[in-house]
């Protein structure tokens, strides 16, 4: 008798090689996915060969839909949680990935706001170098205590003069202080300011940083769309009968 699903439809019977060909993978990858929990447990013939069904194919397609947005590690953890019966845990992993993406976007926005703040200020004359802390405070219109707080937080690291131990602010230190002042005026916390400074130091100038931010924004948008597509595939899989367990079709499989 031909194996059937509960609704009377003919059950899909797949060997390891069949499932591998459908996805363009090797048979070893299919075995690895099953062992990792990406796929539900396979059925077994009397001789011990793996047998797969439609739920395994749906699981594999769902995993591959999750990968572009969530990455292979998170996608594996999500599918493993689903197949372990921990759907809330799987959804928590989805939430965490979206929260991390939100933080990346917020940091990107903070950097853009800092650049806009700086662009709105009159061009600063190149100060003589180095400057003492009082001179920098007067130049920026802040208290020296603010500069010390920023330094204590690790945002500023002006070198010290030999002998006197006085802080000696060079052009890059003054630029960083201007960025911090601009972001603090917009009520950004130190943890949000730190990556802005790291970006600026890495790129070297604001024009290059603007180009980098634009490219990064496009990357985040593409990833968001990929995550939406992956989440949609997961939603469909959770609603499918196969998400509650693999079929156990009969038949044989060639090793």
Q: Pick the closest to residue 192 from 98, 97, 93, 112 (CA basis).
A: 112
Taking every pair of Cα atoms in the chain, the longest distance, rounded to a whole number of angstroms, is: 94
- Please give the pLDDT value at position 233: 96
Same domain, 147 and 44: no
Here the CATH number for the domain that contains residue 166 is 1.10.1660.10
| Same domain, residue pair 31 and 98 | yes
Q: Is 248 a residue whose pLDDT tops 50?
A: no
- Print the domain residue range for 32: 16-103+221-244
Residue 2 lies in a domain: no
* 3 within a domain of the structure (yes/no): no
Highest mean pLDDT (candidates 10-24, 43-57, 89-103, 115-129): 89-103
On the question of pLDDT at 241 being above 60, the answer is: no
Q: Is the pLDDT of residue 199 over 60?
A: yes
Note whether 45 and 131 are same-domain residues: no
Higher pLDDT, 176 or 240: 176
Cβ within 8 Å of residue 149, ≥6 positions away: none
- Residue 23 and residue 85 share a domain: yes
The verdict on 32 and 53 lying in the same domain is: yes
CA 159 – CA 201 distance, rounded (Å): 16
Q: pTM higher than 0.85 for the full model?
A: no
Q: Could you tell me what percent of the chain has a pLDDT over 90?
A: 47
Instruction: For 117-144, give the DSSP string.
Output: HHHTSPPPPPPPSSB-HHHHHHHHT--H
Residue 223: pLDDT over 50: yes
The reply to whether 76 and 179 lie within a common domain is no
Same-domain check for residues 119 and 210: yes
Domain match, 156 and 231 both: no
What band does 182 get if pLDDT is binned at 50, 70 and 90?
confident
The beta-carbon contacts of 68-74 under 8 Å, at least 24 apart in sequence, are 68/223, 68/226, 68/229, 68/230, 69/97, 69/223, 69/224, 69/225, 69/226, 69/227, 69/228, 69/229, 69/230, 69/231, 70/94, 70/97, 70/227, 70/230
Judged by average pLDDT, the poorest of 73-87, 163-177, 180-194, 223-237 is: 180-194
- For 210-222, the pLDDT digits (tens) are 888 889 899 999 9
Q: 192 and 112, same structural domain?
A: yes
Confidence at residue 120, expressed as pLDDT on a 0 to 100 scale: 63
pLDDT tens digit string along 34-48? Answer: 999 999 998 888 888
Judgement on whether residues 81 and 112 belong to the same structural domain of the protein: no
Residues 57 and 91 in one domain: yes
**54 or 250: which leads in pLDDT:** 54
Asked if residue 6 is part of any domain, the answer here is no
User: Per DSSP, which regions of 5-122 are E strands?
Assistant: 43-44, 50-51
Burial class (CB in 10 A: 0-12, 13-18, 19+), 237: buried
Question: Total domain count for the chain?
Answer: 2
Let me know if residue 253 belongs to a domain.
no
Q: Is residue 61 part of a domain?
A: yes
Mean pLDDT of the chain: 84
Q: Are residues 112 and 200 in the same domain?
A: yes
């Amino acid at each position: 008798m031909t194996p059937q699903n509960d609704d009377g439809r003919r059950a899909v019977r797949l060997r390891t090689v069949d499932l591998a060909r459908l996805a363009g993978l090797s048979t070893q990858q299919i075995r690895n996915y099953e062992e990792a929990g990406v796929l539900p447990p396979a059925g077994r013939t009397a001789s011990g060969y793996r047998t797969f069904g439609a739920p395994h194919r749906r699981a594999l397609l769902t995993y591959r839909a999750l990968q572009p947005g969530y990455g292979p590690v998170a996608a594996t953890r999500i599918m493993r949680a689903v197949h372990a019966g921990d759907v809330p845990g799987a959804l928590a992993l989805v939430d965490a990935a979206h929260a991390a993406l939100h933080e990346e976007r917020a940091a990107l926005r903070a950097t853009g706001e800092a650049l806009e703040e700086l662009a709105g200020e009159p061009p600063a004359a190149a100060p003589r170098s180095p400057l003492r802390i009082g001179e920098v405070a007067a130049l920026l219109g802040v208290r020296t205590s603010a500069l010390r707080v920023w330094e204590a937080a690790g945002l500023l690291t002006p070198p010290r003069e030999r002998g006197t131990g006085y802080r000696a602010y060079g052009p890059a230190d003054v630029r960083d202080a201007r960025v911090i002042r601009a972001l603090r005026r917009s009520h950004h916390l130190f943890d949000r300011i730190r990556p802005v400074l790291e970006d600026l130091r890495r790129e070297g100038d604001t024009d290059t940083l603007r180009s980098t931010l634009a490219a990064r924004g496009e990357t985040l948008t593409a990833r968001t769309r990929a995550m939406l597509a992956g989440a949609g595939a997961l939603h469909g899989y959770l609603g499918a009968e196969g998400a509650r367990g693999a079929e156990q079709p009969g038949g044989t499989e060639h090793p």
